[in-house]
Amino acid sequence: MISKSPLRYPGGKVKLYTFMSNLINENTDNPPVYVEPFAGGAGLALELLFNGVVNRVKINDFDPAIYSFWYSITTEETFHLFVDYLDKVEVNIEEWYHQKDIYLNQSNHSQLELGFATFFLNRCNRSGILKAGPIGGKKQDGKYKIDCRFNKDKLKSLINKIYEYRNQIDVTNENAEDFIKRIDQYYDDLFIYLDPPYVEKGSSLYKNSFEMKDHISLCNAIKELDNKWFVTYDNNDLIKDLYSEYTLKLFDINYSAGSKRKENEIAVYSNNLKYKLEP
């Protein structure tokens, strides 16, 4: 399935759409509010929303840069300016250095500027990783060039579609643990999907990677949730131990960050999910 997200994201889970839509349909009477505390590219959330599997999505990301992107394209005051930036920007190595400077000096720039810089670097960097270098290298002597993932017409179409659904999309910038504790208190029709940073290799993929204590703390917070939840993690003994009291299933998923490969991951199901389908 082709992602409806304008962002390229390592570990993106849009590949789980068919499974997730079936899991949600089997375990809810009506389309629920769908929550992603680690939204990233939010490709799965958008697919579920656009197809009516869920009636609202709450996408949260602790990274101010990722949050600024989502805020910019779902807010009336900044959306049109963002699209104007997209129309006018030159996709070349000089512009890459300019956008990289904005990203590295976030406090000196507006939320819109940061959101666009994040988008630009995501589309132009290797595997969409913000701290990576540009596709084709800084000398642009690689097989592919910096603009090979920057089809303006296609990207504008994706962004316009998201803006059309803006009244069904809530965007927040909170610590994931604080976020799930807060919303769990006020809603009883949530379906929460958590895809935390990997235990292994997380530091090479995500700005906000986790240490062991963070995985433990998040697990303790998840165990206190009243709403239905589902978690995916890399296959790791720590995770198997932390979630040993829940149904765990192994599944394979293909990735292309760095190199194309198949990863073995763990699915964890909350006890109030009646039907625990196979990923």
Tokens of 91: 């996709």
Query: Region 222-247: what's the mean pLDDT?
Result: 97
Compute the mean pLDDT over every residue in the chain, rounded to the nearest whole number: 93
pLDDT above 70 as % of the chain: 93
Q: Which residue has the higher pLDDT, 2 or 227?
A: 227
Q: Is the pLDDT score of 209 beyond 80? A: no
- Which residues have CB under 8 Å from 259's CB, separation 6+? none
Confidence label for 202 from pLDDT (cuts 50, 70 and 90): very low
Query: Quick one: pLDDT at residue 99?
Result: 98
Query: Quick one: pLDDT at residue 208?
Result: 57
Query: Region 222-251: what's the mean pLDDT?
Result: 96
Tokens of 256: 């292309």
Confidence label for 9 from pLDDT (cuts 50, 70 and 90): confident
Tokens of 63: 């990274």
Query: Region 194-202: what's the mean pLDDT?
Result: 81
User: What gap in Å lies between CA 196 and CA 119, rounded to an integer?
Assistant: 21
User: What gap in Å lies between CA 181 and CA 123, rounded to an integer?
Assistant: 33
Tokens of 278: 């196979």
pLDDT above 90 as % of the chain: 87
Q: Which of 28-42, 92-106, 202-216, 240-254 is predicted with the least confidence, judged by mean pLDDT? A: 202-216
Q: Which residue has the higher pLDDT, 45 or 204?
A: 45
Query: Quick one: pLDDT at residue 275?
Result: 93
Strand partners, 258: none
Query: Quick one: pLDDT at residue 262?
Result: 66
Tokens of 193: 């999907």
User: What gap in Å lies between CA 137 and CA 28, rounded to an integer?
Assistant: 48
Confidence label for 11 from pLDDT (cuts 50, 70 and 90): low
H or E stretch covering 152:
helix 152-164
